[in-house]
Amino acid sequence: MTQVIVLNGGSSSGKSGIVRCLQALLPDPWLALGTDTLVEAMPASMQASDGGIEFAPDGEVIVGPEFRTLEAAWIEGVAAMARAGARVIVDEVFLGGAGSQQRWQKALGELRVLWVGVRCDGVVAAGREVARGDRVTGMAASQADVVHQGVAYDLEVDTAHAESMECARTIAVYVK
């Protein structure tokens, strides 16, 4: 039985929409947790320090050691919830590509995980980013490809060519 679904894609790629559709489609209740959840839970001071997380004017995201420490604890906490019986969908942005996936793999260990790449053309994602109005311009384009470098998936969806519900239906077929 799948215990965790990890959706990885760049900013504004459509992950959150897919998560909401999966929660509506899947028969059991699934918790939705993501990197935005982690960032929102951190004190505001972490978004203005070298040790925390910084959003550069060009859209680059820079994370420091304090962020990594809290992120590691958060990842272990998500894994603990899954081990305790919660089914979890993780909405993630692997800024470090394969290294980011390895951190999750280590924490999730023996759990049954479905790894999903959420692709979206950088130009399409950039358009969504502008429409959202809640992201630093340039983040979507800069992350569109780098988050997938060296990452291994069970399946991939492309939100530039399919709506969230269609992507969710494709993913749901793989959830056991």
Q: How far apart are CA 141 and CA 154, in angstroms?
A: 24
Residue showing tokens 């050691």: 65
Q: What are phi and psi of 32, to 5 degrees?
A: -110, 120
Residue type at position 81: M
Distances (CA, A) of 142 to 11, 126, 130, 131, 158: 9, 9, 14, 17, 17
- List residues bridging with 29 in a β-sheet: none
Please give the angle made by the CA atoms of 16, 59 and 117, to the nearest 5 degrees. 35
Q: Catalytic one among 36, 121, 154, 158?
A: 36
Helices (H) and strands (E) in the chain, counts: 7, 7
Active-site residue 36, yes or no?
A: yes
Residues classed as catalytic: 36
